[in-house]
């Protein structure tokens, strides 16, 4: 069975500067059940998503809020990609 790798580097199209630190890329790790449990305690969908993205990148919410929407949408796609199984033909799993 093939799964996406454990982490991915997202190069920002529009780098940001927060507190004098220029951020040109984000290291994004695969989500764990723990991350989902922490994020699920937030009240709104937006807060849950921001918490999840913060946990997966190791960056504070305030940093992620400065991102250009194009880059944030790319971050969302990276996370969605982690949740997809590999697409090998004739792949079976007892969990399905």
pLDDT at 5: 64
- In degrees and rounded to multiples of 5, residue 5 shows phi and psi of -60, 170
Task: Quote the pLDDT of residue 67.
Answer: 97
Residues ≥6 apart with Cβ < 8 Å to 9 = 25, 26, 27, 28
Say if CB 14 and CB 28 are below 8 A apart. no
0.85 exceeded by pTM: no
Per-residue pLDDT of the chain (96 residues; tens, 9 = 90+): 344 468 999 999 999 999 999 999 999 999 999 999 999 999 999 999 999 999 999 999 999 999 999 999 999 999 999 888 653 333 344 444
Q: Please check whether residue 54 is in contact with residue 39, taking contact to mean a CB–CB distance below 8 angstroms.
A: no
Question: Which residue in 29, 36, 32 sits closest to 10, CA to CA?
Answer: 29
Q: Which pLDDT score is estimated for 3? A: 43
Locate 34 and state its tokens: 């723990």
């Amino acid at each position: 069975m093939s799964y996406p790798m454990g982490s991915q580097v997202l190069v920002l199209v529009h780098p940001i500067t927060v507190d004098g630190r220029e951020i040109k890329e984000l290291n994004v790790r695969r989500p764990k059940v723990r991350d989902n449990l922490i994020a699920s305690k937030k009240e709104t969908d937006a807060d849950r998503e921001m918490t999840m993205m913060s946990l997966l990148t190791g960056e504070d919410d305030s940093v992620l809020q400065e991102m250009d929407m194009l880059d944030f949408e790319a971050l969302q796609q990276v996370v969605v990609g982690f949740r997809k199984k590999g697409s090998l033909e004739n792949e079976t799993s007892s969990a399905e």
